Amino acid sequence: MNISTSIKLIVALSLAASFLFACNPNTSNNSKKENKKLDSLKQDSIGKADFMAKYDRYYNDISRFMAGLEQTEGSSLAKFDTLSSTKKYHS
């Protein structure tokens, strides 16, 4: 056997092994069973969202500006929405 044939054989066996391990039906059945047990409506977590009060919106404002979206109320970049160059950039 020459080297190129050996390499092709190793690659083929590696792909076959990864395919067999990736297509394991037991993992998908377990996750479906676990998902059926959880009911997200019974767990009201929005009342516990204290982190939103301390949320730094700087990066959100930057990303909205770069995406061409209008700034939300209270944004530190809202003053730039009135500039003509910004309006040209957003159009």
**Same structural domain for residues 61 and 29?**
no
**Same structural domain for residues 59 and 90?**
yes
What's the pTM value of the predicted model, to 2 decimals?
A: 0.39
- CA 74 and chain centroid, separation: 26
Identify whether 11 is part of a domain. yes
pLDDT at position 91 over 60: yes
Cβ-based neighbours of 71, under 8 Å, separated by 6 or more: 61, 64, 65, 77, 78, 80, 81
Identify whether 45 is part of a domain. no
Token output for 91? 């159009």
C-alpha distances in Å from residue 55, one per residue of 9, 46, 52, 75, 80: 54, 15, 5, 13, 22
Identify whether 89 is part of a domain. yes
Per the structure, the complete domain to which residue 19 belongs is given by: 1-33
Identify whether 41 is part of a domain. no
Identify whether 39 is part of a domain. no
Identify whether 77 is part of a domain. yes
Identify whether 26 is part of a domain. yes
Tens digits of residue pLDDT in 16-32: 888 777 766 665 555 55
Helix (H, G, I), strand (E, B) or coil at 53: helix
